[in-house]
Amino acid sequence: MIIAPFLGPNLAFAFGTSQGDKALIAKAFTAGIVGLFLVLLRSAIVGFFWHELPYSTALMDRTTVGLSGVVLAVASGV
């Protein structure tokens, strides 16, 4: 859900690059940057006003990184 709004500008950027359409490239790049700025601004505002730290066992389980997680990340990167 976080990445989905960026698919449109990324596809437009890729299409504009393949077609050599500089106007489409500029419009897609601008849309991506504006979207990123709005997401960061909104998350900063919510984080400023939300004074409670969420605690969930599922969330805490994902913050622990072991050797298997590092191996998986390296394999995925390669």
The per-residue pLDDT for range 12-71, each reduced to its tens digit, is 999 999 999 999 999 999 999 999 999 899 989 998 888 777 777 887 777 778 888 889
What tokens were used for 6?
């960026």
Taking only the tens place, the pLDDT of each residue in 55-75 is: 778 877 777 788 888 898 899
CA distance 9 to 24: 10
User: Is the model's pLDDT at 1 over the cut of 70?
Assistant: no
Q: What are the two backbone dihedrals, phi and then psi, of residue 29, each rounded to the nearest 5 degrees?
A: -65, -45
Torsion (CA) 47, 49, 55, 61 in degrees, nearest 10 = 0
Closest CA to 65 of 53, 77, 73, 75: 73
